[in-house]
Amino acid sequence: MTSDTILLIGRDTRNAHEVLEAHAERLRGRAIADAVEVATYESEPVRELRGRFERLSADEVYAVPMCTAHTHETINDIPSALSYVPGDVRYCEPLGQSPAVTEVIEERGADLIPPSEEVSLILVGFGSSSKPYHRQTVDYHAARLREQSAYGEVLTCYLLQNPTVECVRYNTTKTRSVAVPLFLARSEATESRIPDELELVRGGIEYADPYGEHARITDAVHAEVEKQRALSRADSAPTASFEGQLTQTRRPLATDGEGVPR
């Protein structure tokens, strides 16, 4: 009988391990896989996770990058680290463009200010100077919230690209604003950089918590794993998706001290 494991992978920021463990425990309670494990790293996924991944004994591993959108690490480093998993790897999409996440964003804002025509909802993303994934994710949720929420306006801003976080307060047209960071766990960005650039000390903008342990994030993980299960039954499933191609093509380089000939 084939065994399977769900592997939640994330950067070890301030409370990331606790957040991932909370989702893992909830998934274990749903009994959707033989095992659910958490793997976190500080800065070098291949070096830090290689030994852990080599010891995974499942026939199939559903590896979920626990972040909002693809980054250099999820496109290059994590797939390279996953090459050490002995079993078949089903590499999942990040959680960003799940409808469940839209609900979490709206709820995080509503916890501070109830939605109304007089309130601006600000979505704060990390952004990227070279890759489109963060902007695509933030735009996806902004479009859905403009259609289905009661907020008077929905604005987007980023730490690393335009429109910038530091300018967003000057773009709001409503009397009150609430900003929601589109991040899974607390980090230096959510606790320091974003509050500073929003100039929260000036007032006028309420600042919500990241997604954290919200149950709908667990639902997003669950749905992504089930999607990958369905794809695995199709012809050429391991390489059919963008993520599947990454796990087929990314390998550690021998020159970095971690790669081995294959």
Dump pLDDT digits (tens) for 203-249: 999 999 999 999 999 999 999 999 999 988 775 455 557 777 777 66
Q: Tell me what the mean pLDDT of segment 71-80 comes to.
A: 94
Q: Is 141 helix (H, G, I), strand (E, B) or coil?
A: helix
| Highest mean pLDDT, choosing among 14-18, 127-131, 164-168 | 164-168
Residues in the chain: 262
Q: What is the CATH number assigned to the segment(s) 99-207?
A: 3.40.50.1400
**Alpha carbons within 13 A on the beta-carbon side of 39:** 29
Q: What residue spans define the domains of the chain?
A: 4-93+214-249, 99-207
Q: What is the pLDDT of residues 43-65, one digit of tens each?
A: 999 999 999 999 999 999 999 99
Distance CA(10)–CA(6), nearest Å, equals: 13
pLDDT tens, residue by residue, 123-150: 999 998 888 999 999 999 999 999 999 9
* Amino acid symbol at 146: R
Q: Are 247 and 83 in contact (CB under 8 A)?
A: yes
As a whole number, mean pLDDT of residues 68-97 equals 94
pLDDT recorded at residue 240: 58
Give the architecture (CATH level 2) of 4-93+214-249: 3-Layer(aba) Sandwich (3.40)
Same fold, 4-93+214-249 and 99-207: yes
Please tell me the predicted confidence (pLDDT) of residue 99. 95
Average pLDDT score, the chain: 92
